[in-house]
Amino acid sequence: MIERLYYANGIGQTIEFSALSDFHVNVSRDVDGMNDVSNKVNTATTMGQDGESYISSTIEARDIEITGHLRSTSLQRQIELRRQLNHAMSPKQSGTLTYVCGDLIRQITCYAEKCPSYTQGRWPKFIIQMRCLSPFWQETSNQIVPVVRWEGMMAFEETDGLMINEEWEIGARSTERIVTARNDGDVACGMKIRFVAEGSVTNPYLTDAETLETVKIKTTMVAGDLIEVTTHYGQKDAVLVRSGIRTNIFRLLDASTIFIQLSVGDNLLTCGASSGANNMSVTVEYANRFLGV
């Protein structure tokens, strides 16, 4: 099974690195840093204490280095490949590195630390150095979990057409108020919480039923409103979308709000509002994060 790496920059250019690419790379042998992370342990000590006391730990940024060679002995073709690689790997823009091996697909955001370097020779080698400020690989599609939603009830049982009577139901609101959001990654992750109003809703909130950590917005929503709260580190945000206009409402977050992180495994979530809880739908969206591929 062939391992492949794809680098895509912000302007739509994509470079493939693999044993079959013009940019020949044996991914398992010639790429460093894909499964290596450094953990910084923060400790404290006091006078007379033996050893140290644990405070916290943080996983540091990831460095990835790709070594390969240009699959051509033609000087003209080598020049074209160097130009293509230099243009795609500009240090002035970020990119996404995607690992593919069979059904396993992972991606990570990275920055080229400098332009690719090359050696001379019949098969010129190149070296690419990238830095990933967030060290975690992620799945290419996010997990979406409805906390409260409408459930379809439409059924067409009549063989000769649709017959409507007093027992016919178009939809019903789910009565489940606690749902499980499962984090199958290696570390905790943030999420995007979406509150959608179908009527008047006052002070909507989402709570971790185990830790009792809560995200609460002190506002009144009207039909058609959407509130998005992002809890990712470095991306914390709260936005109201009303009539297509986006407004920052970070100031409306309740003072007790904690930006919930989904721990590894099952997370029990519940939601509600001071009034109008039956007039809203709530979903959470998140991406599992991994230490390696």
The residue with tokens 């992180």 is 261
Token pair listed for 193: 């919480």
**Using one digit for the tens of pLDDT, what is the confidence trace for 272-288?**
999 999 999 999 999 99
Give which of 90, 149, 95 is closest to 282, Cα–Cα. Answer: 149
Check residue 1 and give its pLDDT. 82
190 and 218 in a single domain? The answer is yes
**Using one digit for the tens of pLDDT, what is the confidence trace for 68-85?**
999 988 889 999 999 999
**Using one digit for the tens of pLDDT, what is the confidence trace for 238-252?**
999 999 999 999 999
Question: pTM of the entire structure?
Answer: 0.81
- List, in order, residues 6 or more apart from 287 with CB less than 8 Å away: 138, 139, 142, 143, 185, 189
123 and 147 in a single domain? The answer is no
123 and 178 in a single domain? The answer is no
Of 135, 152, 182, the last residue of a domain is 135
170 and 117 in a single domain? The answer is no
148 and 127 in a single domain? The answer is no
Check residue 175 and give its pLDDT. 47
**Using one digit for the tens of pLDDT, what is the confidence trace for 168-186?**
554 445 545 689 999 999 9
**Using one digit for the tens of pLDDT, what is the confidence trace for 18-51?**
999 999 999 999 999 998 888 888 899 888 888 8
Between CA 233 and CA 61 the distance in angstroms is 14
DSSP H stretches of helix in 31-135? 75-88
107 and 222 in a single domain? The answer is no
Domain housing 41: 4-135
**Using one digit for the tens of pLDDT, what is the confidence trace for 77-114?**
999 999 999 989 888 888 999 999 999 999 999 998 88
Of 135, 170, 192, the last residue of a domain is 135
44 and 181 in a single domain? The answer is no
Q: Looking at the 3D structure of the chain, how many domains does it have? A: 2
Given a contact cutoff of 8 angstroms between Cβ atoms, the answer to whether 276 and 199 are in contact is yes
